[in-house]
Amino acid sequence: MKCHIIVGIGIISPTWYDSYPAVPTWNYSVVHAKGIIELTDDATTAQVLKSTIQQYEPSLLQSGGFIADDYQQKLAKGIVGFKIVIDELQGKQKLGQHRNQSDQQGVVQGLSLSNRADEKQLLAYIPVIIENA
C-alpha cells in the first residue's frame, strides 16, 4: 500500500517572478508512505472517531448534541477503520529552490495574498526551505 501525504500545494503565477521568461507551475511538498494496511476493530475505530471529533468539534459529543446517538450508530456501520504500518518514507518537494532569491520572495508575496488553505499551508513551509537552501 502506498499513500501520499501532501504538506502543501499551490499554483505559482509567472507574474510573481522577476525573471523572464517564466510559466505557471505547481510548487508542492509531499511524503510517500509505503506499508501494510491493517483494519482496526469497531472499538478502536469508534475511539479514533471520538478523539477526532473531540479535537475539532467537541460540542458535537455533548449529550443531545448535533448528531443523535442512534444516527451515529447507523453511520458507524459504514465506516471502515484502518492503520498503515509504515516501512518506508520518501519525501519530495518542488518549491522553486533553484530560483533566485528575488523570485522566491515573489512567490512568498504572491501566496500571502491567497485565501486557499492549501496555499496558506505551502506558504508556511516555504520560508524554512529558503533559509536552509
Q: Please check whether residue 53 is in contact with residue 61, taking contact to mean a CB–CB distance below 8 angstroms.
A: yes
pTM of the model as a whole: 0.61
522577476: which residue's cell?
A: 18
pLDDT at 72: 75
pLDDT mean values, one per 10 residues, the chain (133 residues): 76 92 90 90 90 85 69 85 91 88 91 89 75 57
Beta carbons of 99 and 17 less than 8 angstroms apart: yes
Taking phi over 0 as left and psi of -120 to 50 as alpha, with beta for the rest, 64 belongs to left
- pLDDT given at position 97: 85
Q: What is the pLDDT of residue 129?
A: 59
Cis ω before 58 (30° cut-off from 0): no
